[in-house]
Amino acid sequence: MSNPLEPEVKTNPQGDPITSVEPEQKTNPQGDPITSAAPIKVGGSSKDPHEGAKKQRVVTPEYMFFEAPRKREFITGSEAAKEAVRRSNVDFSVAYPITPQSETMQLIGVLYGEGYVKEYYRGEEEYGVMSAIAGGSRAGVRCFTATAGPGTLRGIEPIASWPGHRLPAVAMFTCRVVNAPLAIQPDNIEISYLL
């Protein structure tokens, strides 16, 4: 006779007890679940289309080097930045459009629409954008921005304050001609200012 106060032990067809092998659920500072493997899909599609966007996977370097599935494909630098932002669980992204960075931030806007980025704004100018990134970082928010050429130079003062204040921020600096001759061709003069 079984005791009604004892929990029922489930068994497999051979009669062995089934024990749970699921580890304790860990969360990141924002409260999102962290998993070490892709979620197992059972049956049809989930009710929440953004469910996958709310999860972050942590993997070991050994997995990335030796076990991770690989697929060759051609992507642009903007698409690579989009994928990096998607995987990095960004909370806040702000930028002011300037060619050639405009495509990158348009793709980040797509991520915002899919639920991968929590807040997404277009700034009024580069100085304000870089100051907003500094403010978000001070508040403990994971931030991303992108700029190019003249925009880098216009935002250089707030950018220079980031390391002095120990502010973690991710920025993509696409290179273009700063001035004379005015063009959008690749150049690296603004990067020399950053260095």
Do 59 and 131 lie in a common domain? no
Tell me, yes or no, whether 11 lies in a domain. no
For CA atoms 181, 182, 183, 189, the dihedral sign is positive
Q: What does the mean pLDDT of the chain come to?
A: 80
If one counts the domains in the chain, the total is 2
Q: What is the pLDDT of residue 53?
A: 56
Do 115 and 42 lie in a common domain? no
Residue 151 structural domain: 77-194
Burial class of residue 118 (count of CB atoms within 10 Å of its CB; 0-12, 13-18, 19+): middle
Which residue stretches of the chain have pLDDT < 70? 1-7, 12-14, 16-30, 32-57, 182-184, 188-191, 193-195
Do 38 and 94 lie in a common domain? no
Q: What is the pLDDT of residue 119?
A: 93
Alpha-carbon span 171 to 15, nearest angstrom:
57
- The rounded Cα 152 to chain-centroid distance in angstroms is 21
Do 82 and 53 lie in a common domain? no
Q: What is the pLDDT of residue 151?
A: 86
Do 173 and 94 lie in a common domain? yes
Domain closes at, from 8, 36, 67: 67
Q: How far is CA 19 from CA 39, 73, 160, in A?
A: 20, 42, 55
Do 42 and 115 lie in a common domain? no
Do 113 and 187 lie in a common domain? yes
Do 60 and 102 lie in a common domain? no
Beta bridge mates, 146: 172
Q: Both tokens of residue 94?
A: 């702000």
Do 132 and 175 lie in a common domain? yes
Do 115 and 183 lie in a common domain? yes
Q: What is the pLDDT of residue 120?
A: 94
Tell me, yes or no, whether 13 lies in a domain. no
Tell me, yes or no, whether 1 lies in a domain. no
CATH of the domain at 94: 3.40.50.970
Do 124 and 166 lie in a common domain? yes
Regarding pTM above 0.95, the answer is: no
Do 90 and 31 lie in a common domain? no
